[in-house]
């Protein structure tokens, strides 16, 4: 187990390094720069700016300087907001983004799994049909369309919840629904089909042949087996919620990291792009790692090592 964790940490670092390198190369191959503006600045000013931010040095040197900063957990100053560092953006934005993401994840899990179970147990009858209709809508409607629709009906027309910000507990309702809609639908469908498949397995017949009650057959034998595919997609689901939050944060004017990220790309704010990407990548790699460890707890057939 320890060996596995050490090994995984090693591969995670390599993955992260590749992400950083790739982002760096792509970013610098896109035309324009952080100081390019409609009104040409005098060349002396540009030179001075470039020198200040070390942009006059060869790319290789810049890259290694950046890595050196990373080791000290310094993501560098923002090129656009003078006097502020990328660390500031993350420290300020992360709590909002993380809270929204976490609430959405918990909501998705506690709603999707029972929905899937209900649909599978009432297969072909009306509860199944209702769940499947909701799930199909959730998968086909893009989150930004759903967000606008929800906002129009529940915030503007009915005035039940605030339109933007995260000031009140009710403020979370619409962003969570818009952000989690896709994952909720996907996981509910997956849980349904997985449980249906498991219920046809031989070991379920064995459990019934023992004279176990249907409740025990499902809780002791079917659910644990059926949850495995759901666990498998949990890593990508977390990724989806995180990247999805860029758009949702923008629409609901939530001061999370997403809005900084989107702006930083259009403005070629090099350090912010790099810092955000690295932070997200590190977070995702950690989440996938945690999911893999969970996987081992549920399924004894999986050997880690």
Residue 220 as a binder of other proteins (CB under 8 A): the answer is: yes
R_g of the chain, CA atoms, integer Å: 24
Nearer to other proteins, 40 or 202 (CB): 202
Which phi and psi (to 5°) does residue 88 adopt? Answer: -60, -45
Determine, following the binding rule CB under 8 A, whether residue 211 of this chain makes contact with other proteins. yes
Q: Which is nearer to other proteins, 80 or 296 (CB)?
A: 296
What gap in Å lies between CA 89 and CA 123, rounded to an integer? 48
Would you count residue 301 as binding other proteins (CB under 8 A)? yes
DSSP state of 159: -
Nearest to 187 by CA among 121, 154, 138: 138
Token pair in block for residue 94 = 């992360």
Query: Of 158 and 209, which CB lies nearer to other proteins in the complex structure?
Result: 209
Residues 190-209 that bind other proteins (CB under 8 A): 201-203, 205-209
Judged by beta carbon, residue 17 or residue 204, the one nearer other proteins is 204
Shortest separation between residue 226's beta carbon and other proteins, angstroms:
11
User: 3-class secondary structure for 37-53?
Assistant: CCCCCCHHHHHHHHHHC
Sign (positive/negative) of CA torsion 30, 251, 280, 65?
A: positive
> What string marks each residue from 124 to 143 as x (binds other proteins by CB under 8 A) or -?
x-------------------
Does 299 help bind other proteins (rule: CB under 8 A)? yes
Interface contacts to other proteins, rule CB under 8 A: 124, 201-203, 205-213, 216, 220-221, 224-225, 298-301
């Amino acid at each position: 187990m320890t060996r596995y964790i050490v090994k995984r940490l090693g591969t995670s670092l390599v993955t992260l390094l590749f992400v950083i390198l790739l982002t760096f190369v792509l970013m610098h191959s896109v035309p324009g720069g952080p100081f390019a503006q409609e009104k040409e600045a005098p060349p002396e000013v540009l030179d001075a700016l470039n020198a200040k931010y070390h942009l006059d040095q060869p790319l290789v040197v810049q890259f290694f300087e950046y890595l050196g900063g990373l080791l000290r957990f310094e993501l560098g100053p923002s090129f656009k907001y003078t006097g502020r560092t990328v660390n500031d953006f993350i420290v300020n934005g992360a709590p909002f983004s993380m809270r929204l993401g976490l609430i959405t994840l918990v909501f998705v899990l506690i709603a999707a799994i029972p929905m899937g179970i209900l649909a599978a147990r009432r297969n072909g009858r009306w509860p199944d049909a209702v769940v499947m209709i909701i799930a199909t809508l959730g998968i086909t409607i893009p989150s930004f369309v759903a967000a606008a629709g929800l906002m129009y009906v529940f915030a503007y027309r009915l005035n039940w919840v605030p339109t933007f910000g995260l000031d009140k507990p009710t403020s979370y309702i619409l962003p969570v629904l818009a952000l989690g809609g896709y994952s909720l639908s996907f996981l509910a469908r997956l849980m349904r089909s997985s449980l249906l498949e498991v219920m046809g397995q031989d070991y379920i017949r064995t459990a019934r042949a023992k004279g176990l009650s249907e409740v025990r057959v499902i809780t002791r034998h079917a659910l644990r087996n059926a949850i495995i595919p759901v666990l498998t997609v949990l890593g990508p689901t977390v990724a989806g919620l995180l990247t999805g939050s860029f758009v949702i944060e923008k629409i609901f004017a939530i001061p999370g990291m997403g809005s900084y990220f989107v702006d930083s790309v259009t403005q070629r704010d090099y350090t912010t792009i790099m810092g955000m990407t690295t932070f997200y990548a590190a977070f995702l790699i950690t989440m996938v790692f945690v999911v893999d460890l969970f996987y081992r707890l549920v399924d004894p057939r999986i050997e880690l090592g």
